[in-house]
Homo-oligomer: A and B are copies of this chain.
């Protein structure tokens, strides 16, 4: 998986994506090779809840030339040099005038910041603070050949149907150019996870995978399908920041103890890895803010490695291929798949013999020799038999007993074969 991830990463990296435009569509097409998608389209000017879909944006070239003739901030070298959604501009201006259009990060003087201006037309460049300080006085030539024009906001979606009517969603965004952990890890993780989920021989839940532009794309999607999700979704996850080398962080949904939260926390517990659980925090984050807005209040959490805003490379040119690790990304995808498996196995079982324990020995499920210590496998079975009363689901029993969902699930299915367990 690692090599496939890296190959696709290398193809997506140089494309100067933003919310809408040809670069976004090109990126979506590449991802479609791994995950065939249905495209949902919203036109510029469309009203989606409190928002209005903006224009498309495309970039031809952009740079500025200093009085000595040196070229700076050439977008063909790094997409971040150009303010995302920058308006076109060309002309000769003084350094003082130019500086009003330059964005830097004094705290990380060698990094180019990632800055956007989607809803207010302005032009600008982002450069390192070191470069900024070295600019000489004199006349500068600015060339920004971009275009803003009516077009399409596109959301890609793939669905893997299951046997029950309930749904699990995975969501990510594709509007950040040349940022590795926060963002490419998200769409890459999502399409590879899609293939793992697709490989399951059967699925109880329908799985919906959504790739959109952050905020506006998700809001547009929810304006059309939010009501459906509200009725069907039992768990959901926003995928982002999953390729750095840090420990896992799980950000709970606003519902706090939804199936998404319980399954993710159980997966992390069973992994044995150090990890953090953080509360739902609308003062930071990504599209879980829309999914968890009070009108929807969907059970959408987010499993990340180091959380956005908690690593200095975040939203700068330092969040690049060197910063991430494809093994870490692969592990993250597998951990998401573990969550899927826990959700699939999270059946509410009912012990058919509710009065006293069933006689397991006569069915070959219990040793016929009573010895001083009970085996671990038998203990797990006794927990299941006692707590499978039709109200506790498998995660409940895993939590109270300390046994893994995998072990409990296998035993429960065996008890079902012996007609001792049924599904509620």
A397 to chain B, nearest CB (A): 11
Q: Are B50 and A219 in contact (CB under 8 A)?
A: no
Q: Are A315 and B368 in contact (CB under 8 A)?
A: no
CA of A294 to CA of B117, assembled, Å? 61
Within 8 A of B (CB), among A279-309: 279, 281-284, 289-290, 292-297, 309
Q: Are B119 and A362 in contact (CB under 8 A)?
A: yes
Taking the complex as formed, is A272 at the interface, i.e. its CB lies under 8 A from any CB of chain B?
no
Contacts A283-B379, A374-B283 given; does A356 touch B293 at CB 8 Å: yes
Q: Are A355 and B293 in contact (CB under 8 A)?
A: yes
Query: A389 contacts which chain B residues (CB < 8 A)?
Result: 294, 297
Binds B, one of A23-31, A108-116, A242-250, A336-344: A108-116
A389 to chain B, nearest CB (A): 4
Q: Are A283 and B354 in contact (CB under 8 A)?
A: no
Taking the complex as formed, is A55 at the interface, i.e. its CB lies under 8 A from any CB of chain B?
no
Contacts A51-B356, A356-B290 given; does A115 touch B371 at CB 8 Å: yes
Query: A296 contacts which chain B residues (CB < 8 A)?
Result: 355-356
Partner of A386, one of B294, B371, B373: B294
Taking the complex as formed, is A387 at the interface, i.e. its CB lies under 8 A from any CB of chain B?
yes
Q: Are B380 and A283 in contact (CB under 8 A)?
A: yes
Q: Are A254 and B386 in contact (CB under 8 A)?
A: yes
Question: Would you give the 0/1 interface string for A67-104, flagging 1 where the beta carbon is closer than 8 Å to chain B?
Answer: 00000000000000000100000000000000000010
Within 8 A of B (CB), among A303-333: 309, 314-316
Query: A117 contacts which chain B residues (CB < 8 A)?
Result: 368-370
Most B Cβ at <10 Å: residue of A223, A351, A370, A372 = A372
Taking the complex as formed, is A359 at the interface, i.e. its CB lies under 8 A from any CB of chain B?
yes
CA of A315 to CA of B103, assembled, Å? 67
Taking the complex as formed, is A353 at the interface, i.e. its CB lies under 8 A from any CB of chain B?
yes
Taking the complex as formed, is A222 at the interface, i.e. its CB lies under 8 A from any CB of chain B?
yes
Q: Are B49 and A356 in contact (CB under 8 A)?
A: yes
Q: Are B119 and A289 in contact (CB under 8 A)?
A: no
Q: Are A372 and B289 in contact (CB under 8 A)?
A: no
Q: Are B289 and A351 in contact (CB under 8 A)?
A: no
Q: Are A357 and B119 in contact (CB under 8 A)?
A: no
A131 to chain B, nearest CB (A): 18
CA of A423 to CA of B105, assembled, Å? 41
Question: Would you give the 0/1 interface string for A360-395, flagging 1 where the beta carbon is closer than 8 Å to chain B?
Answer: 011000001111111000111011011111000000
Taking the complex as formed, is A132 at the interface, i.e. its CB lies under 8 A from any CB of chain B?
no
Contacts A370-B117, A372-B114 given; does A356 touch B282 at CB 8 Å: no
8 nearest CB pairs, A to B: A283-B379, A295-B354, A120-B368, A294-B389, A282-B386, A295-B355, A315-B372, A116-B370
**A interface list, Cβ under 8 A from B:** 48-52, 84, 103, 105, 113-120, 122, 215, 218-219, 222-223, 226, 254, 279, 281-284, 289-290, 292-297, 309, 314-316, 351, 353-359, 361-362, 368-374, 378-380, 382-383, 385-389, 400-401
Supplied contacts A103-B371, A219-B357, A316-B372, 4 more A-B pairs, CB within 8 Å: A50-B359, A222-B355, A282-B382, A294-B387
